[in-house]
Structure 1
Amino acid sequence: MPINIPEHLPAREVLKEEKIFVMDEGRASSQDIRPLNILILNLMPEKEKTELQLLRLLGNTPLQVNITFLNTASYESKNVSKNHLDSFYTTFEYVKNRRFDGLIITGAPIEHLEFEDVLYWDELKEIMDWSKTNVTSVLHICWGAQAALYHHFGLNKFKLSKKLSGVFQHTLTDPTIRLVRGFNDVFEAPHSRYTSVSIDEIEQNDDLKLLAVSDDAGAFIILSKDEKHIMITGHLEYDACTLGEEYERDLKKGIDIEMPQNYFPNNDTTKQPLNTWRSHTHLLFSNWLNYYVYQETPYEWE
């Protein structure tokens, strides 16, 4: 999928080196096709890393995609330069009168807070409510998934006894669902969180369907019955090194943290972890863009 992103976005050169098809605005405008418009609400602190991770995945099918990055107006990130935000991001005020084919709401390291105590919770609620009528399909990741389950379906998160960090096996509950078409019956995926959601509450909710579950990590892929909302409780978008970087960061902060499970080869932190989830990550994003965005979105929103 050729992705149309701002010319000077730092991720552009890395994507080109990785042979990801990046298109400039001139070439995009010359193609007589209707591109998909994807909005990314990036709540992660290290925004440039998340940009690169998501753009890799959005650039891997035959569709043309225009990307718009969104950040919160009610809270200013402290881990990215204001110049970067001003150059490549916009706020909800400037997109609320538009319609988008897809929306991605990322995770955020704020699980210790009640949802109502998050500084931008009211703004996020407004965006989630707006998405019901202005977005064809919404993909929610990690804390973003928990926020969606709470706001749209009334399911609250609960605190774990320790951080869930590592790469875990998951089992499909229904391989016929389009989102997981092509998945292996058992597959691996990384998690990094302090909270979780109840499998029983998901299964008892008539508006939700649990598609993948892990004995160690719990509920993983949840789909709303109307297929508009997709909730992913882990981080399929993570690079091979991401969990290790988070582990080192927490150690430097003096946090009493365990080594990520099933991650470092032979639990040796000097050895490079392997990405054992990449193919399923690409497949999930490809299935989402094809079946839930491209096949469902009207050619002309009006």
Structure 2
Amino acid sequence: MPIRIPDSLPARSVLEGENIFVMTEYRAMHQDIRPLNVLILNLMPTKIVTETQLLRKLSNTPLQIQVELLRTASYQSQHTDEDHLESFYTTFDQVKDRNFDGLIITGAPVEDLDFDQVDYWDELQEIMAWSTRHVHSTLHICWGAQAGLYFHHGIQKRKLEKKLFGVFEHRVLKPSSPLFRGFDDKFYAPHSRYTEVSREDVLAAPGLELVADSEEAGVFAVKTEDSRQFFIMGHPEYDADTLAREYRRDVDKGLEIAVPAHYFPGDDPSRPPVVRWRSAGQLLYTNFLNYYVYQTTPYDLKQI
């Protein structure tokens, strides 16, 4: 089944070029199917790249999904054309009276700041509080996961000695969890961050379950016992070249940055990386949508 997006969204041509079935709004209006309504709060500066990565994962499922893109009103993006934002993004005031089957909150490159120093922190808190009443299940990614764990569960992030940067091996701690149905015992995922949450803090928090971690990268996946909130510390949606582009960007800026771990063959940046996380990343998003949104969300969104 297709993903349903606005006719002229830039991601459409990219996804169609990859033979992904994309349904335009016009065609979708003529089908008597209630799609899943998923809202994406995109906090990343490179919004088009991030929305394309996420739409690629959401589209490869047997479900029809109506995606809406949300941006913060309290902070103006410096890296995305305003015409694109005006055409395809909405603000919280425009959706706060509605209900959604799912919400995805992305990461953001603001890890060095305390949460209350982030320009849009007040607005993000309002959105996260709203999600507990208006969203059936919410997926938080990377910094978005750290922000969610802090806001909802009081878990503070802590700074790492150096950037966690590369592709790391992980283990499933709860094989019975539908989130990891179809996963191998060991799987890989990219990370790119300067902060973390501790395993001890997660295990001590009431109502939380640690369901996957890594010896090198630490906590990876946390969920609430009621499956209404998920917190993913890595970036399973990353493209093959995302870490390479981040690495070369920092090198060009003269920043001190290590070669991404376990990414380039022989740690040689001149060689193309080998992707080891694509299938696990797809399964994670598919399982989240299927088992924690589609299978349990009410048909009438007013009942959320």
- My pick for the range that moved more, 246-255 or 35-44, is 246-255
Alignment of 1:233-252 (within 5 A): 233-252=233-252
Question: For 1:16 and 1:3, how far apart are their aligned partners in 2?
Answer: 11
Q: Does 1:189 align with 2:189?
A: yes
Match of 2:71 in 1: 71
- My pick for the range that moved more, 200-209 or 103-112, is 200-209
Instruction: Tell me the amino acid that sits aligned with residue 301 of structure 1.
Output: L
Instruction: Tell me the amino acid that sits aligned with residue 11 of structure 1.
Output: A
Deviation at 1:156, TM superposition (A): 0.4
Instruction: Tell me the amino acid that sits aligned with residue 277 of structure 2.
Output: W
Alignment of 1:266-281 (within 5 A): 266-281=266-281
Report the 3-state secondary structure (helix = DSSP H, G, I; strand = E; otherwise coil) of the residue aligned with 1:101: strand
Match of 1:54 in 2: 54
Question: For 1:88 and 1:288, how far apart are their aligned partners in 2?
Answer: 24
Report the 3-state secondary structure (helix = DSSP H, G, I; strand = E; otherwise coil) of the residue aligned with 2:219: strand
Match of 1:222 in 2: 222
Q: Does 1:114 align with 2:131?
A: no
Match of 1:45 in 2: 45
- My pick for the range that moved more, 41-50 or 21-30, is 21-30
Instruction: Tell me the amino acid that sits aligned with residue 43 of structure 1.
Output: L
Match of 1:200 in 2: 200
Match of 1:169 in 2: 169
Q: In the TM superposition, what whole-angstrom CA distance separates every residue of 1:224-271 from its partner, at most 9, and x where no partner exists?
A: 111101000000010110001001111111211111000001111111
Question: For 1:16 and 1:258, how far apart are their aligned partners in 2?
Answer: 35
Instruction: Tell me the amino acid that sits aligned with residue 256 of structure 2.
Output: D
Q: What percent of counterpart residues are identical?
A: 58
Question: For 2:266 and 2:151, how far apart are their aligned partners in 1?
Answer: 41
Alignment of 1:142-161 (within 5 A): 142-161=142-161
Deviation at 1:206, TM superposition (A): 2.1
Q: In the TM superposition, what whole-angstrom CA distance separates every residue of 1:68-94 from its partner, at most 9, and x where no partner exists?
A: 000000001101011110111010000
Q: Does 1:103 align with 2:107?
A: no
Instruction: Tell me the amino acid that sits aligned with residue 54 of structure 2.
Output: L
Report the 3-state secondary structure (helix = DSSP H, G, I; strand = E; otherwise coil) of the residue aligned with 1:188: strand
Q: Does 1:94 align with 2:120?
A: no
Deviation at 1:182, TM superposition (A): 1.1
Deviation at 1:33, TM superposition (A): 1.2
- My pick for the range that moved more, 19-28 or 71-80, is 19-28
Instruction: Tell me the amino acid that sits aligned with residue 108 of structure 2.
Output: A
Report the 3-state secondary structure (helix = DSSP H, G, I; strand = E; otherwise coil) of the residue aligned with 1:30: coil
Alignment of 1:135-146 (within 5 A): 135-146=135-146
Question: For 1:185 and 1:204, how far apart are their aligned partners in 2?
Answer: 25
Question: For 2:81 and 2:33, how far apart are their aligned partners in 1?
Answer: 35
Question: For 1:112 and 1:93, how far apart are their aligned partners in 2?
Answer: 28
- My pick for the range that moved more, 97-106 or 202-211, is 202-211
Match of 2:6 in 1: 6
Question: For 1:274 and 1:94, how far apart are their aligned partners in 2?
Answer: 42
Root mean square deviation of aligned Cα: 0.7
| TM-score for both structures, normalised by structure 1 | 0.99
Deviation at 1:205, TM superposition (A): 1.4
Match of 2:80 in 1: 80
Question: For 1:280 and 1:301, how far apart are their aligned partners in 2?
Answer: 30
Question: For 2:182 and 2:204, how far apart are their aligned partners in 1?
Answer: 27
Deviation at 1:293, TM superposition (A): 0.5
Question: For 1:219 and 1:35, how far apart are their aligned partners in 2?
Answer: 33
Report the 3-state secondary structure (helix = DSSP H, G, I; strand = E; otherwise coil) of the residue aligned with 1:286: helix
Deviation at 1:189, TM superposition (A): 0.6
- For the 8 Å contact 2:101–2:301, the answer to whether it is kept is no
Q: In the TM superposition, what whole-angstrom CA distance separates every residue of 1:109-128 from its partner, at most 9, and x where no partner exists?
A: 00000000000000000000
Deviation at 1:275, TM superposition (A): 1.3
Match of 1:260 in 2: 260
Deviation at 1:295, TM superposition (A): 1.0
Question: For 1:62 and 1:180, how far apart are their aligned partners in 2?
Answer: 18
Deviation at 1:26, TM superposition (A): 2.0
Question: For 2:195 and 2:61, how far apart are their aligned partners in 1?
Answer: 33
Question: For 1:253 and 1:224, how far apart are their aligned partners in 2?
Answer: 40
Q: After TM superposition, what 4+ stretches of structure 1 lie above 4 angstroms from structure 2?
A: none
